[in-house]
Structure 1
């Protein structure tokens, strides 16, 4: 599971991940958000975090 999210929705993404996966995720920052065209899964802002399992 991988969730891309903005600063505003990082807590929501962490909560959703833990609820669905029943484990704690890795939280990574996108190295250069300006180069990434992926948007937050909860709004239309650019994703700056990746919440994922290892």
Structure 2
């Protein structure tokens, strides 16, 4: 699972596809996760990209 901002969501999708060779699930950050930061920068995460 990768938390990503608007700018890095494409990079997160590519990473999941490369690692798991499957189409990733993309969802908006909600609830307690709203304060989570992007894994590629320190901006607030907007999306969660996961392989399941």
| TM-score, with structure 2 as normaliser | 0.88
Gaps of 5+ in 1: none
Gaps of 5+ in 2: none
Runs of 4+ in 1 over 6 A off after TM superposition: none
| TM-score, with structure 1 as normaliser | 0.85
Aligned length: 52
- Richer in helix (by share): 2
